[in-house]
Structure 1
């Protein structure tokens, strides 16, 4: 069922905000509340993939009645209350009606209608999140994957929602359903990806993440419009998937790992539905990096290997080099020095083949500096501080000044490796250079690294250089 078919069945009245549900969330953020929902689900043996955006949809009134899995979880969280008490419409008012299809999306017409998007127990789910590189590991992203292809508010909303980055579609034209969306709208989505990446390169993720949610939603609204020409449709799928990865990276770099996982899963679903191996490789690449940072090194290895299988036919040696580095990071997390060294050697050999026309646009950041920086992280994870510091120093020296965030990142890595390797004065000097860059860069990742360096240097606080670093570090505001 296409979005255009669903639009004709949408109820004429607008969604009413669910104020009762919003009140129950209290002072918790949507992400914090979503985490509480997932914990409650595990307590009763349910599997739901609630995230901040699902909470937002409920509070906005877009979800008039939750599916059965969510109902059981919510009633477990708030005993003694009914769905009506939680601000939802009675199930009898939505079950079996075409309106329900419009709200739950194109999967509502599939078998087992009693379970809708997000409910995973014992149902056929075409966008199931069974781990593609570990068939025994079930993730909690099923409704996120499906939501990549659910109906939304139409192209008019999309036109307005790209504005946070100074981008706009022809809103008047978007209101005309008969008009087929073409290259101009696709180019706006692609430009949003470029602008987000450019701003991240210069300023880091923390200040961008919330602003990037609107363009991402807008891109999927355009996909939902279902009126795109075939060639433009393929580009729009790729653009929307790349945008999901970019927003996921902003979440990743700012420490919002659950949000990042959802965005990356969304991109992976988009890639597979569109048959886009380049996008699929990119999604797996970032999933591997996230798994490493989240303390799941074996998953990081599997995701990197899956990415390499998908990427080999694409003909980009640089892409395969980066994916080998992602695998090396996973092996380092598993304390497998041999596996790590072999992957690093493969990454270097592939890198030495040089650039080619097959290299993806998003890999503009990947040069010799990034190669050195990622290798430094591997040796640091393995506890080889001297080797790690050598590579981190090279990375900071080689980095193009345009990439302010990466310069700060590599220098922070250098400071930490020097501190742990027994060179407190040099570590403090590097740390001070990072603090100077933090006036331009907002990155929770870098702040977390510096905090760890400061703890290591505390026993050396009587040294003048160390003391200066610790005092300046203590005065820097922390990201909220």
Structure 2
């Protein structure tokens, strides 16, 4: 049960809420669920990631959410072009935050405390989760549980589950912008808190327990990806295994497919190509119960990457063809939220990786070039990754000047992105180009890259 102070706070918040009639009017005759589906569709159109459902729409219309977070703001302004947040019935962000001015950029741009400058009333719990250190109990407190966590007596409700789900979204958003290296250690804190809830808490309803399992599993995958991208292979493998176990316990096919998808990717990067194939195939079996062709497309691409690593061109091409068939069926409402990154640029990039593994570097470079050209610049980390792939493929294909030019573009982006994976690819590019220093622009790239490496 909530404490008296918590209960009074909730009652005070409810009494202050003013129904958002303007937003309710925009929904028209659509049900909250139908309107939520329209919001998710609009988000996909602009490459944004939101997890909108009827419950969220209800909270907005009830006035509980006075100002949407930045992701929802972009989606709503896209849906209702020409209207302002005020026209939609929302309160200015500065008033919601009590007049607090925007937090200045810190000296180190990759620290998760940057979330202070891009967070609203829905995300305050997560901010505390990132900023709190110490034991699992203290981390759990940072997700709103208080310090007196008592096994088998703590009731898990909407606030706790919402905090876990919001943690997943914020980690993904920060990774899209800045890469994994500055995030991994801090992201482990909300992960410990989420599993403390699973181990020590009791959900009031089955639906709440299911959401908590799914949220904790997705959080484990997100933290695993940060470990993966920052070169911590063993840590990543452990987190993915934890997510898979959570999926199996909860009977969650979507979470299981996601865990296998990332496990396959990690295995391929670690040179365990047979495991990459088997994991991708297992993921496809789990995803077969879902209505998401795009998820099946991504898993087929993961399988193709494993076959390419094994040097099996025929099997790789069959998997790529299957991936295209699924991809061409388009997006669907059943597509998992975490797949917001998977659009045409990623399709091209994963094909580039396959052809590179098969030694067809010119073909790989063509796909990598298309990936970089199509990528939305807001996804800074992926743009840097695609250009790093392009630079390496061009260097191996015997196009040193073009490789150096792409390498410079990656170095420009490394002012914003910290990713050991990308830095490793750039180091490989420099190694290939060493013997061609006199080619146009290569010497300047090698010198600049060397300076960056010495500063790290």
Same fold per TM (> 0.5)?
yes
Partner of 1:169: 144
Contact 1:156 / 1:174 at 8 angstroms: preserved in 2? Answer: no
Q: Which moved more, 1:271-280 or 1:220-229?
A: 220-229
Identify if the C-alpha distance between structure 1 residues 236 and 391 changes in structure 2 by more than 3 Å, giving closer, same or farther.
Answer: same
Alignment of 1:228-243 (within 5 A): 228-229=203-204, 230-243=206-219
What's the secondary structure of 1:422's corresponding residue? coil
Contact kept in structure 2, 1:320 and 1:347, CA below 8 Å? yes
Cα distance in 2, alignment partners of residues 176 and 303 from structure 1? 35
CA distance in 1 between counterparts of 2:207 and 2:443 reads 60
1:217 aligns with 2:192: yes
* 1:216–1:243 CA contact under 8 A, matched in 2: yes
Structure 1 residues 208 and 157 mapped into 2: Cα distance closer, same or farther (>3 Å)? Answer: closer
**1:226: Cα distance to partner?**
3.1
The equivalent position to 1:321 in structure 2, one of 282, 286, 297, is 297
Tell me which residue corresponds to 2:382: 406
Within the alignment, does 1:158 sit opposite 2:133 as a pair? no
User: In structure 1, what is the Cα distance between the partners aligned to 2:153 and 2:447?
Assistant: 63
TM-score (norm. length: structure 2): 0.68
Separation in 2, partners of 1:313, 1:189? 25
Q: Output the CA distance in 1 between the equivalents of 2:269 and 2:139.
A: 35
Alpha-carbon distance between aligned partners in 2 of 1:156 and 1:456, rounded to the nearest angstrom: 49
Which residue pairs with 1:426 in the alignment? Answer: 402
More divergent stretch after superposition (228-237 vs 299-308)? 228-237
Q: Count matched residues.
A: 322
Using the alignment, how far apart are the partners of 2:402 and 2:423 within structure 1?
19
In the TM superposition, what whole-angstrom CA distance separates every residue of 1:178-214 from its partner, at most 9, and x where no partner exists?
Answer: 5521011000000000000000011001110111111
Q: Distance between the aligned counterparts of 2:302 and 2:151, measured in 1?
A: 45
* Cα shift at 1:169: 1.3
Sort the Cα spacing of 1:226 and 1:301 in 2 relative to 1 into closer, same or farther, 3 A. same
The equivalent of 1:193 in structure 2 is 168
Distance 1:444 1:479, change over 3 A: farther
User: 1: distance between equivalents of 2:281 and 2:242?
Assistant: 20
- Whole-angstrom CA distance in 2 between matches of 1:397 and 1:305: 31
Superposition deviation, residue 464 in structure 1: 4.1
Indicate the RMSD between aligned Cα atoms, in angstroms.
1.8
- Superposition map of 1:235-314 within 5 A: 235-314=211-290
- 1:170 is displaced (CA, Å) by 4.8
Greater displacement, 222-231 / 418-427: 222-231
Give the distance between the partners of 2:356 and 2:436, measured in 1 at CA. 21
1:471 paired to 2:447 = yes
CA contact (8 A) 2:150 2:200 kept: no
1:207 to 2:148 alignment: no
- The 3 A distance-change label for structure 1 pair 178 and 335 is closer
Quick one: structure 1 residues 429 and 154, their matched pair in 2 at CA, closer, same or farther if it must change by over 3 Å?
closer
Runs of 4+ in structure 1 over 6 Å off: none
Residue in structure 1 matching 2:433, options 448, 457, 461: 457
Structure 1 segments unaligned to the other structure (5+ residues): 1-151, 161-167
Rounded to whole Å, the distance in 2 between the matches of 1:224 and 1:367 is: 36
- 8 Å contact from structure 2 (residues 153, 201) kept in 1: no
Runs of 5+ in structure 2 lacking a partner?
1-133
Structure having the higher helix fraction is 2
Taking structure 1 as the reference length, the TM-score comes to 0.65
- Asked if structure 2 preserves the Cα contact closer than 8 Å seen for 1:206 and 1:479, the reply is no
Contact 2:217 2:242 in 1 (8 A): yes
Match of 1:366 among 342, 366, 377: 342
Contact 2:177 2:381 in 1 (8 A): yes
CA distance in 2, matches of 1:199, 1:156: 23
In structure 2, what is the equivalent of residue 448 of structure 1?
Answer: 424
Asked whether the equivalents of residues 206 and 442 of structure 1 are also in contact (C-alpha less than 8 Å), the reply is yes
CA–CA distance in structure 2, aligned partners of residues 201 and 294 of structure 1:
23
Q: Per the alignment, do residues 395 and 212 of structure 1 end up closer, same or farther by CA in structure 2, a change over 3 Å counting?
A: same
Correspondence for 1:348: 324
Per the alignment, residue 42 of structure 2 pairs with: none
Q: Is the 8 A contact 1:428 1:465 kept in 2?
A: yes
Please report how far the alpha carbon of residue 477 of structure 1 lies from its aligned counterpart in structure 2 after TM superposition: 3.7
The answer to whether the 8 Å contact 1:278/1:311 transfers is: yes
